[in-house]
Chains A and B, each alone.
Chain A
Amino acid sequence: MISLTSEKCSGCGICARICLYGGVAVNNKTVTFNDRCTGCGACVEVCKSGAIALSGKKENIKNAVNGYSGIWVIAEQRGGHVQNVTRELLGKASELAKIRQCKVSAVILGNELNGATDELIKYGAERVYYTTADFLERYRTMPYERIICDLIKKEKPEVILFGATSIGRDLAPRLANRFRTGLTADCTELEITPEGELLQTRPAFGGNIRATISTPHHRPQMATVRPGVMKPDFSEIRKGEKIRIDVKRDESDDLVEILRIIKKEKAENNLESAEVIVSGGRGLGDGKKFRLLEDLAKSLSGEVGASRGAVELGWMPQSRQIGQTGKTVHPRIYIACGISGAVQHLTGMEDSDVIIAINKDPEAPIIKAAHFSLIGDLNNIIPELISMLNKA
């Protein structure tokens, strides 16, 4: 609880200048605190007259976690279409909500969202907060932050999940700051204790380790979640509540203008949902060898992927890169050809049901990670596999 002893206050305004949250305002030498104050205590330390006090730290902590309920997913849309990662997150949110016996809500900002709100409900949102506003059609940081922040203050969810996408990772840190709360990036596992502590597991140290992180004393608990990991749960018959959020423009919205959008070459790959992936690395020796992999993939009705090494050599586009800085995939069969198996690559595919390595180096790390390894020259092995498969 922040308080001012006005007799001591000199009206110098240092407290307002030092506050990084905008929680203190000084007008005509009168100091007022507002709800952006997070109790950090910077103003207390800097006040020369000792006029500001911060009290009740212990209560603050207990109160900090009480009164928050609900699992939220901040939905991502393009042109009114719900993105895959949002569907995945709703599946996970439903699991977490069962343990906490609370509701799953989705928050979706945009313009024409009729189909999207229905879809969010079918994927598990019991409540959908939505907007209808042309200035929100495409994501921009400040209007989205401002509107969602107000909603969080009003509704106090216990957990908020975002996709670990360009947009999710642009927005989530700013929201976490507004509530002085914890945010964990790029989670690959999420669990919640019966008491409501969210256990967030994620790769770190370049993918070499896993860390389990939590936010014990602050709410809401926030996490961005890696796309392609959680499982969506669709049901046509679900019903849910739709709540329209009234929004107004603000001049800060237009500090960033979107001039134009250039669509990227439509990735005709479905790596994230593929059942079979045949992947190639530097060990192929030559980008043309990817044609062999394409033939093998065709025989298995699969997709072609690539390691970072192959992408850096220009053999495959970035959209086919699998690994820490590429896509995460979980096919039933993953065939790694000429891929050494650096941890940054493994992190993107080790969830595959069956991993097969084709490599001429018996010491390559991929051999330890694979279920079956064929040690030899892929130029001989792959054509043989293709011919056997085509005969079958």
Chain B
Amino acid sequence: MIKGLNIIVTVKQVPDTTEVRIDPKTNTLIREGIPNIINPDDMNAVEAALALKELHGGTVTAVTMGPPQAEEALEEIIAMGADRGILLTDRAFAGSDTLVTAFTLSRAVMKIKNYDLILCGRQAIDGDTAQVGPQIASFLNLPQVTCAEEIKFENGKLVIKRSLEDCVEMVRLKLPALVTVTSAINEPRYAKLYNIEKACDGSMIGRWDVSDMKIPEPMLGLKGSPTIVKRIFEPKRNKKGEILHGSVKEMAGTLIQKLKDMNYKVINNKEG
């Protein structure tokens, strides 16, 4: 019987891509000054971990891979109630794709050693891949359940509700395991004021680099990544659109006529 659950949560600090603005003069993305947030699905994973800890006891460790400023994310998570945070940071990580990112996170998990469960957000709002969670599970040879909407711990196993497009599955899973969660699972709590001081004194945060985790060069950064980005572009969204004028009757009439002219069967032949 496991006494309490030792949970590791992987989190990522990301630019808030839902608040990206377009420069009206150039019609391109304004990428500077976008606020950093903790990836929304990861906040749900943290909340799920804290809720399990409250019910069953145990510990919650947050791990993040990023530049030095990602430490802010760990402070916030400790202020929410996590026991400690580990920042994986090293210039050599730059340009990592999901495979080598997952490898680095897996090495950190192996270094942490004692864990029962790894919780991850389903996907990050910048990369949008949903790959890192399953790739960590693969590296560590753990069973996984993705898209979890509910997690219960009963009789030493996890009982999880997971969502597919057409149905919901109730599954039971032996530990140790990795689970990814979606935003449907919970509402993340706010940081507690009395925890913030503890969080910000830095003593609950560890910092590990390449040599701390013994990551071999072939698995590092841009060079170690099997995928490469060949091109990034912004989709052209400016259609030479027409704004219809006139009274409501006139606009509606013009529109229907234009659709008729374009031969849209649904307009011309209602039985069609």
Known interface pairs A180-B99, A206-B20; A261-B168 also in contact (CB < 8 Å):
yes
CB contacts (< 8 Å) of A217 on chain B: these are 226
A174 touches B266 (CB 8 A): no
Select from chain A the residue with minimum beta-carbon distance to B20.
Answer: A208
A225 beta carbon closer than 8 Å to chain B: no
A373 touches B243 (CB 8 A): yes
Pick out which of these stretches binds chain B: A34-42, A105-113, A115-123, A232-240: A34-42
CB distance from B215 to the nearest CB of A (A): 8
A264 beta carbon closer than 8 Å to chain B: yes
Select from chain B the residue with minimum beta-carbon distance to A363.
Answer: B24
A26 beta carbon closer than 8 Å to chain B: no
A302 beta carbon closer than 8 Å to chain B: yes
Known interface pairs A206-B18, A209-B29; A174-B134 also in contact (CB < 8 Å):
yes
B226 touches A181 (CB 8 A): yes
Q: Which of B22, B106, B126 contacts A205 (CB 8 A)?
A: B126
Q: Which of B187-227 contact A (CB under 8 A)?
A: 214-219, 225-227
For the complex, what is the distance from the CA of A172 to the CA of B137, rounded to whole Å?
A: 12
A385 touches B218 (CB 8 A): no
A374 touches B255 (CB 8 A): yes
B102 beta carbon closer than 8 Å to chain A: yes
Interface residues as binary, A90-133 with B (CB distance below 8 Å gives 1, 0 otherwise): 00000000000000000000000000000000000000000000
CB distance from B228 to the nearest CB of A (A): 6
B128 touches A203 (CB 8 A): yes
A385 touches B255 (CB 8 A): yes
A184 beta carbon closer than 8 Å to chain B: yes
Select from chain B the residue with minimum beta-carbon distance to A42.
Answer: B216
A367 touches B147 (CB 8 A): no
CB contacts (< 8 Å) of A258 on chain B: these are 169-171
Known interface pairs A177-B138, A256-B145, A389-B256; A276-B218 also in contact (CB < 8 Å):
no
B214 touches A166 (CB 8 A): no
Interface size for A (C-beta < 8 A) is: 99
A204 touches B126 (CB 8 A): yes
A370 beta carbon closer than 8 Å to chain B: yes
Q: Which of A155-189 contact B (CB under 8 A)?
A: 165-167, 169-170, 172-174, 176-178, 180-186
Pick out which of these stretches binds chain B: A3-11, A242-250, A348-356: A348-356
B130 touches A165 (CB 8 A): no
Known interface pairs A333-B259, A346-B237, A368-B239; A20-B129 also in contact (CB < 8 Å):
no
B259 touches A177 (CB 8 A): no
A374 touches B251 (CB 8 A): yes
A174 touches B173 (CB 8 A): no
Known interface pairs A169-B130, A256-B172, A380-B248; A40-B226 also in contact (CB < 8 Å):
no
CB distance from B112 to the nearest CB of A (A): 15
Interface size for B (C-beta < 8 A) is: 88
A381 touches B266 (CB 8 A): no
For the complex, what is the distance from the CA of A178 to the CA of B238, rounded to whole Å?
A: 43
CB contacts (< 8 Å) of B258 on chain A: these are 372
Q: Which of A371-386 contact B (CB under 8 A)?
A: 371-377, 380-381, 384-385
CB contacts (< 8 Å) of A385 on chain B: these are 252, 255-256
Known interface pairs A203-B128, A256-B145, A332-B264; A166-B216 also in contact (CB < 8 Å):
no
For the complex, what is the distance from the CA of A203 to the CA of B51, rounded to whole Å?
A: 34
A216 touches B167 (CB 8 A): no
A268 beta carbon closer than 8 Å to chain B: no
Interface residues as binary, B70-98 with A (CB distance below 8 Å gives 1, 0 otherwise): 00000000000000000000000000011
CB distance from A301 to the nearest CB of B (A): 5
CB contacts (< 8 Å) of B186 on chain A: these are none
For the complex, what is the distance from the CA of A256 to the CA of B157, rounded to whole Å?
A: 10
CB contacts (< 8 Å) of B97 on chain A: these are 182
CB distance from B187 to the nearest CB of A (A): 13
CB contacts (< 8 Å) of B106 on chain A: these are 20
A20 touches B173 (CB 8 A): no
A62 beta carbon closer than 8 Å to chain B: no
A173 touches B134 (CB 8 A): yes
Q: Which of A210, A255, A344 contacts B174 (CB 8 A)?
A: A255
Interface residues as binary, B169-181 with A (CB distance below 8 Å gives 1, 0 otherwise): 1111110010000
A212 beta carbon closer than 8 Å to chain B: yes
Interface residues as binary, A206-232 with B (CB distance below 8 Å gives 1, 0 otherwise): 111111111111100000000000000
A154 beta carbon closer than 8 Å to chain B: no
CB distance from A139 to the nearest CB of B (A): 9
B128 touches A182 (CB 8 A): no
For the complex, what is the distance from the CA of A221 to the CA of B103, rounded to whole Å?
A: 19
For the complex, what is the distance from the CA of A210 to the CA of B128, rounded to whole Å?
A: 12
B241 touches A183 (CB 8 A): no
The 4 closest A-B pairs by CB, nearest first: A206-B17, A182-B227, A182-B226, A173-B134
Interface pairs (13), CB distance under 8 Å: A20-B110, A20-B139, A78-B166, A166-B147, A177-B139, A185-B128, A211-B231, A258-B169, A332-B266, A350-B235, A367-B243, A372-B255, A377-B248
B-contacting residues of A (Cβ < 8 Å)? 18, 20-22, 39-42, 44-46, 78, 138, 141-142, 165-167, 169-170, 172-174, 176-178, 180-186, 199, 202-218, 252, 255-264, 267, 275-276, 300-302, 324, 332-333, 342-344, 346, 350, 354-356, 362, 365, 367-377, 380-381, 384-385, 388-389, 392
